[in-house]
Structure 1
Amino acid sequence: MRLTASALTISLFLSATTALAKDQPFLLTADQITYDSEHNTVTAEGHIEILSEYGAVQANKIIYDQTGDLLTAEGDVLYLNEQEVAVFADRLELEGSLKAGAIDQLRVRMKNNGPALVAKRAIKTDENHYKLESAAYSACKACENGEGLMPWKIRADEIAYDAQEEVVSYKNAVLDVYGVPVVWVPELSHSVAKKKPRSGMLPPRFGRSGSRGEEVTLAYYKKVNENLDYTFRTRAMTERGVQLVAENRYAGKHASGEFRGSIIADDNTDTVRSHVDGSGEVVFRKGNRAGLSAQVASDDTYYDDFLGTNPSYLKSNAYAESASPLHYAAFNSTFFQDTRDGQDPGQTAQPLAQAQVERVFVLDDRVSQLNLSGNVLALHRGEGISSRRIVVQGAYNKPWMSADGDLLEFTTSLRGDIYNVDSTNNDDIIARGLPSMSVTWQRPYVSGGGNHTVVPQAMVIAAPRGGNPSEIPNEDSVAYELDSTNLFDESRFAGFDRIETGSRFIYGLDNQYGPGRGHTKYRLFIGQSLRFDEDSSLPSLGGTETRDSDWVGYTSLNPTPWFGLSSRFRLDNADLTARRMDNALTLGDINHSYATITYTYLDGGPEEVSARSRLYMTEYTYFESQARRDLADDGRLLLASGNIVYEHECYKLSFTVRRRGFSNRNVPPSTDYLFNIELLTLGRNLD
C-alpha cells in the first residue's frame, strides 16, 4: 500500500513506541512524500529538509528505511551539523538520527566559510568524527570543486576530521604547491580553529646573512594542555653551524612563566655559545605576587649575533611585591651581566638586596595625606666600592581649590639617609637630612565653547643648600636631564643617591586647542626653572647647570587624522639654540598606510634621524620599511630594512632585506635576506 502527501510535514520515529524514551525523532519536510508499507520505506522528493538533534540534510531525493533505520540522500546533498560544518555530497547514507553513516564524493566546508576537505568517500562514525578516504585539505577556496591547480593542498590516503575539536589528522600525507608535490610526511595533525593551537610542525623559515650564510629554521610546536606548551627549533646556518632553541610557556590561574634557551657550537669562533632567558611569577592574591627572571649569555655579543638585539645589560631578578591603594612593599635581588665593550665584570654594581616600603594615610579631612616611605639597598662589587644605604622619608600633602578656580597644593617633607661605604682605605658612614617645602599653583582658563584652554602654572620650593656630599657614591642617580615631563618635580634625579637642593621657582604655560576628549589639535607647553643659588652637584649638560635653566617645552599639531607633527625640546636660556630636540612627523593612518620621520638631537650626545613606513599596494599586498642613521661626525647607516608581504586567502608570503651598518666586536656589519611562507591554518591561529 502507498500513501502520498504533497507539501506535508510529518514526524517519523526511529523505532516502536516502547523505544521513544531512548531515541529522538527527526523532522522531514518535502514537496512529495511516499510511504511503501510493503518495504517499510519512506521516499521524499522536491525541496527536502530534514532536521534532527545532530544536524540537518537537504537533497533532491531521500529514502528512509525504517526497518534498518537507514536514511539515503541523493542529488545535491547538503548536510549541516551542529558545529556548523557543511558537507556537500553526491550521495549520503546516515542513521536515522543523522549521527553516523557513509558519504560519497563529498566536500566539507568548515564553519565561517573556513577551510575545506574533499574526498571520494567518507565514513561519519558519530556526530563529531569523519574518516575520509583518498582525501585532500586546503584553506584555499578553490578546493570546493576538488579540481584545478590550487595554491596549496594536502593529499592523504586517510584524513580524520574532529568537528568538535576542529582538528584534522593525516596518514601518508603529501603537500602539493600548485599541483607539484614538495613534502611528504607519514603523519600530520593541526588545528583549523581560532585560538586553538595544535601540536605539529611550524612553517619553515629561510634566509641569508652576510655573517651567518644561508639558513633554514625548522620548528615543532607541542601543546601539552590549555596552560602549557613548548616550541623546539633547529636553525641550520652554513657559516655558523646548527643552533638548537627551546621555548616553554605556562599560564595558570595563579602562576605564569616563559622560558627560552639556545645553544650552538659556533664554527666562526670555535666555541660553544648559549643563552637563557626566562621568567616566572606567582600571584598569591590580588596585589601580592612573587617572581623570578633570568637573562644569561655565554658571552657579551651572543644576543647581538643570534637574537637580533644588543642590550647593554642582561638582568636576572628575584622579587616579591605587596600592593594596595594605600600601601606598597617590595623586595628585589638583582644581578647584571654587563655586555658593553671594554667593561670589567668585577666593577659592575650588583644590587643584591633592595627593599622598598610606602604607606599612605588619608587624614580626617579626606583630602590631606601623610606619606611614609623607606628604602634599603645593599650594593656589591667584586672590584671597587660596595655600599649600603637606608633612606626614610615622610611627606605631608594638602591640595585645595579656591572659589575662583585656583588649584593649589602644599607639600612638606623630611628625608633622612644613612650610607655605609666600603672604600679602599676605610669603611665610611655618612648621614644626611633633607627637609623641603613646596607650593604649586595653576589656574585653567577655558574659552566659552570649551575648545581652547590656557593653564599658567607655578611652583615655589624652599630647601637648604647642599646635601650631596662627595663621599656618597652616585650609583643610581647618574641619569639627569630637565624636560617638559619633569619640570615640576622637586628632584629630577633618578634614584636616591643624588637630590636637587636649594630654593627654586618654576613656572610654565600650557596652551591647548581642540574639541576635547583626547582630540587636541594644537598644543604648546613651555616652562623654565629659576634657582636662587648655585648647585655644583648638577651635571653640566642636564639643562640646569646655570641658575636660570634652559627653556623646555612640548608642541604638537594634529589638524587632521592623517597628519601629526610633534616636538619635545630644550633651548639654551641665553640664545635659544637647541640643546635637545625630539621631532616627529607622521602622515597617514598608523593602522594602515603611513610614514613617520623622527629626528633626535642632544647637545654633546647623539644626533640621529629615523623613518618608518607602511604602504598598502593592494588589498592583500603591503610594503614596510624602516631606517636609522647616525648624523654625528661623518654619519653612518645604523640599520635599514624593507619587507614586502602578500596575504592570500590561504597563505602568506614575506620577503625581508635588512642591512646592519655597524660592528660590535666579533659581529660585523651584514646584509640579511629572509623569506617566509606561511600556509594559513597550519601551525598558527587563524586571525
Structure 2
Amino acid sequence: MRWLALILMLLLPRLAGAQNVATLVADDVTLTADDQLIASGNVVAFFEGTQLRASQIIYDRAADQLQITGPIIVQDPAGNLVTAASGTLDPRLENGILLGARIVLDQQLQLAANQIDQRDGRYLQLYRSTASSCQVCGNRAPLWEIRAEKVTHHTLEQQLYFENATFLIRGLPLFWLPAMRLPDPTLDRATGFLIPRQRSTSQLGTGIKLPYFITLGDHADMTLSPYVSAQTRTLELELRRAFATGSLSLRGAVSDDTLQDDLRSYLFANGSFALPANYRLAFKIETVSDKAYLLDYDYDDKDRLESDLSLLRVTNTTLTEARLSYFQTLREVETNASLPPIIGEARHEARIQPGFGGTLIYATSIDTAYRPDRTDGSAGRDVTRAGGRAEWRRDWILPGGIVATAQTGLRGDLYGVRDDSSYPDSDLRLVPSGMATLRWPLARQGAANHLIEPTLTLSWADVHGAAPPNEDSARSEFDPANLFDRSRFTGQDAVETGTQLAAGLTWTRAGPGGAASSLTFGRVFRDSAQPDFTPSSGLDGTESDWLVSGQYTTPGGFVIEWRGLFDDDIETTRTDGRARWSNERLNLGATYIWQGRDAAENRLDTISEWTLDAGFQLTDTLRMAADARYNVAADRPVQAGLGFTWQNECVTLAVSASRRYTASSSVDPTTTFGLVGSLAGFSTGRSAKGPAAQCRQ
C-alpha cells in the first residue's frame, strides 16, 4: 500500500531540528535496525520545488547520504531536467554524485556526462561531457555538439564553463578552445559576445560585425559592435536604459572608410518620461554627418530627419502640448530652408458641455517657422502665428433615423513675418465658419449584414484680414477620412473659403465567416476655386475629383485596399492600392502608387511604382523571403532582395542578398550580401525553435 507525505524529519531525530528538509513519498518504506531508511517503488522526493524520482532510495543516517538507484529523474522549479543511472546525494539534494547522467536545460540544451558532481546546490560539474541541442538518432552523431573534458554549470549565474572544448559537426572536429563560457538557455541577459554577422557590399567589401553586449545593472545595457572590412573601420553603439518613470534608447555609429575623407557618423536617440500632473516629456534626436551615410551602411532609408522635444498632457477634457522640432533633409532636390528647418509650437485645447446643449471646444495656440538664412524672400522667411478658436457642435436624430449635425466656429490668428518684404510685418486674420451635415444610415440584416449611409455636408467659411504665407499646408490628401470635413488643409495657414457641398455614399458589408467589404465614393462642389490646392491633390477647381475607395477582406487571409481620384473624363489624378494574402505557409503583399507631375509639389516626373514582398515556407525547415520595388514610370528597378532561412531544433542559418539601384550625386548603387547563423540552446542564439529532425529506422 502506497504511503503519502512521509517526511524524513519526522522519522529521524537528528533531522528534526533542521529547516526545509526533503519530503519522501514511496510505495514501501522500511526502517532497519542500523538506522537505514529504505524507500522503494515509485519513489518521489521533494525539496523546495525540486522533484526527484527513482526506483529506490536508501537513507544512511550515519553517513547522512541518500543512495539512489535509477532510473533517476530530477526536475527543478525552472523545468530543467536531470536523468541518471545511479547516484549519491545529501538529504537536501544539494551535494552528491550522479553516474551516467544527462541534463536538459529549458527543454533545449542537452548535456551528457559520465559523472556529474553537485556542489552546494549551485554548481554542477560534468566530466567527459557532450553538449548539444540537436536531435540524436541512434549512434549517428548530432548535427553539432561540443565535447569537453569538464563543464561547470553555475546554476545561480546561469552560465556554462567549458574546459578543453572541441566543436564538432556531424562528428568531425571543427575547432578547439582551451576554455570558453556560454550562457545557459534560461538566462535572459548577461555580458558577452552576441552572434557575429557577416556583411558584404559592393561599396564596403566583405566584413564582419562582432557585437558585444554589456549589462549595466538590472535596468540598462549597451551593445558595442565593431564592423571591419577592407574599406571601413566602424564602431556601432546601442544603449538602452529603463527608469521608474520612463525609458531612454540610443543607437549610432562612427566610421572611417574609403568612401569619404572625413569621419562619418549618425545618432538616433529617443526618450519618454512621465512627469507629475499627467504630463509626459519626450525627445527624439536624429542627425547624420552626410546624406549618403545611412544608405551606405543600411542603417535607415529615411530621406528626412526630425529631432524634437515635446511636452504633452492629455485628460478627459483637455489637451496641452508644446513641441520644438528641427528638420534635416537628405533629399537631393530639397534644401533645409524649404522645409523650414526649425518649428516651434504650443497649444491648449479644452472641451465642455454647455447648459444650452451640444459640445463647445475652445483652443489657443502659437507656432513659429524659423530659417537661419537672412535672405529676403522664401529662403529666409520667418513666420510666427498666435491664435485662438472656438467651435460648437450638436447632433440630433430626426424622424426616419436621419442624423443631423450642426457646427459653427470662429478662429482668429495674428501673424508676424520677417525677412520677406512681400508680406506685411504683422497682420490679423479672422475666419468665421459654419457646417451642417445629414446622414441617413440604412441597415439590412441577413446571412450578410449591410449598411448604406448617404451623407451630405454643407459648409461655409470666410476670411477677413491677412493672406499669410502658407508654411504648413503645402500638400493635401483627399481621402475618405476628410471627405466630409469643412477644411482639407493639413495646417492652419491655408483656409477653404466660400460655400461648399460634399456628397458621398458609404456601403459596408459584413459577410458570414468573417468576410467584410466596404466602398466609399463622393465629391466636393464649391462656389469658387481654392488656389492653395495643387493640381494633383484632386481638390483644385470648383469641383473636386471623384473619390473612390474600397476594401475587401476574406476569412482566408486575403485583403485588398484601393483608393483613386478621377476627373470627369475618368482620367486618374492619383491612385494607390494594397493587396495581401497570408496563411501558415505563405505571405504575399503588393502595393501600387500613381501620381502625376506637379511642379507645385516639387514633383517634376510622374510617379508609378510597384512594391512587392513575399514569404514562402518551402519546407518545415526552409523559408524564403523576397522583396522588390520597381519604378514603372522610369522603367527601371529601385531595389530588390532575396533571403533564405534554414531552421531546425538546434540551428538557424540565414543568407540574404539585396540590390539598391538608386543613384545620385551622393548615393551610389549598392549590392549587399549577408550571412548569420546561431545555435539554439544558448541565450545568444535564442529564437523560436524549428521542427526537430525525425529519426528513421
User: Structure 1 length normalisation: TM-score?
Assistant: 0.91
Structure 2 unaligned regions, length at least 5? 374-379, 598-605, 689-697
Shift of 1:285: 4.4
The change in CA–CA distance for 1:185 and 1:297 in structure 2 (over 3 A counts) is farther
Asked if residue 228 in structure 1 is aligned to residue 220 in structure 2, the reply is yes
Name the count of aligned residue pairs: 669
Q: How far has the Cα of 1:336 moved from its partner? A: 1.7
My pick for the range that moved more, 154-163 or 605-614, is 154-163
How far residue 647 of structure 1 moved from its aligned partner, in angstroms, is: 1.5
SS of the equivalent of 2:537 reads coil
Does residue 600 of the first structure (1) align with residue 597 of the second (2)? no
User: Which of 351, 359, 383 lines up with 1:360 in the alignment?
Assistant: 351
Q: How does 1:214-253 map to 2 (within 5 A)?
A: 214-238=206-230, 240-253=231-244
1:625 aligns with 2:615: no
Among 177, 190, 208, the alignment partner of 2:183 is: 190
Q: CA deviation at 1:493?
A: 1.0
For residues 630 and 174 of structure 1, the distance between their equivalents in structure 2, rounded to whole angstroms, comes to 52
Deviation at 1:8, TM superposition (A): 6.2
Q: How big is each residue's C-alpha offset from its partner over 1:415-444, in whole Å with a ceiling of 9 and x where there is no partner? A: 111111112548611221111000111111
**TM alignment of 1:156-305, pairs within 5 A:** 156-163=148-155, 166-171=158-163, 173-179=165-171, 180-182=173-175, 184=177, 186-193=179-186, 196-238=188-230, 240-285=231-276, 287-305=278-296
Q: Give 2:452's aligned residue.
A: 454
The equivalent residue for 1:535 is: 530
Q: Deviations over 1:206-238 (max 9, x none)?
A: 122111211211111122233211111011122
More displaced 10-residue stretch of structure 1: 385-394 or 183-192:
183-192
When residues 23 and 342 of structure 1 are mapped into structure 2, their CA distance, relative to the original with a 3 A threshold, is closer
Pair 1:315 & 2:315 matched: no
2: distance between equivalents of 1:17 and 1:257?
58
Question: Once the two structures are superposed, what CA deviation does each residue of 1:244-289 show, in whole Å capped at 9, x if it has no partner?
Answer: 0111011233020100121011122232111111111211247411
**How much has 1:465 moved relative to structure 2?**
6.1
2:471 corresponds to: 475
* CA-CA distance at 1:117 after TM superposition: 1.9
Q: In the TM superposition, what are the counterparts of 1:68-79 in structure 2 within 5 Å?
A: 68-79=63-74
Distance 1:598 1:342, change over 3 A: closer
Write the distance in 2 (CA, Å) between the matches of 1:428 and 1:51: 85
Amino acid at match of 1:317: D
How far apart in 2 are the matches of 1:215 and 1:66?
Answer: 64
Two-structure CA RMSD over aligned residues (Å)? 2.7
Give yes or no for contact 1:189–1:199 (8 Å, CA) kept in 2: no
Q: For 2:244 and 2:399, how far apart are their aligned partners in 1?
A: 50
Partners of 1:14 and 1:92 lie apart in 2 by 24
1:498 has 2:494 as partner: yes
Identify the match of residue 413 of structure 2 among 413, 417, 438.
417
2:92 and 2:315 map into 1 onto residues whose CA distance is 58
Cα distance between partner residues in 2 of 1:265 and 1:311: 22
Matched residue type, 1:412: T
1: CA distance, partners of 2:93 / 2:71: 17
Q: Which stretch of structure 1 is more off in the superposition, 533-542 or 248-257?
A: 533-542
Structure 2: distance between partners of 1:594 and 1:142: 33
1:140 equivalent in alignment to 2:134 = yes
The superposition leaves residues 105-126 of structure 1 with CA deviations (integer Å, 9 ceiling, x where unpaired) of 3211124x33222223222223
Q: Does the 8 Å contact 1:122/1:131 carry over to 2? A: yes
- 1:609 matched to which residue of 2? 610
Aligned counterpart, 1:639: 639
Percent identity between the two aligned chains = 22
Alignment of 1:363-374 (within 5 A): 363-364=354-355, 368-374=358-364
Q: Which of 412, 430, 451 is 1:433 aligned to? A: 430
Per-residue CA shift, 1:354-400, capped at 9, x if unaligned? 212111112236x6111111221222112111121112111111122
**Between 440-449 and 453-462, the greater mean CA deviation after superposition:** 440-449
1:464 to 437, 462, 465: 462
Select which of 112, 123, 128 maps to 2:117: 123
Match of 1:445 in 2: 442
Q: Which residue identity does 1:655 align to in structure 2?
A: V
1:46 shift after superposition: 4.7
SS of match in other structure, 2:469:
coil
CA distance in 2, matches of 1:640, 1:531: 45
Q: 1:649 to 1:26 in 2, by over 3 A?
A: same
**CA distance in structure 2 between the aligned counterparts of 1:623 and 1:319, rounded to whole angstroms:** 42
Q: Is the 8 A contact 1:441 1:459 kept in 2?
A: yes
Q: Which amino acid letter does the alignment assign opposite residue 402 of structure 1?
A: L
> Normalised by the size of structure 2, how large is the TM-score?
0.89
Counterpart secondary structure, 1:290: strand
CA distance in 1: counterparts of 2:184 and 2:279, whole angstroms: 37
Give 1:677's aligned residue.
Answer: 677
Unpaired segments ≥5 residues, structure 1? 1-5
- 2:601 corresponds in structure 1 to none
The corresponding residue for 2:16 is 20
In structure 2, the partner of 1:337 is 328
Distance apart, 1:551 and its partner CA: 0.3
Query: d(CA) in 1 for partners of 2:512 and 2:312?
Result: 38
| 3-state SS of 1:271 partner | coil
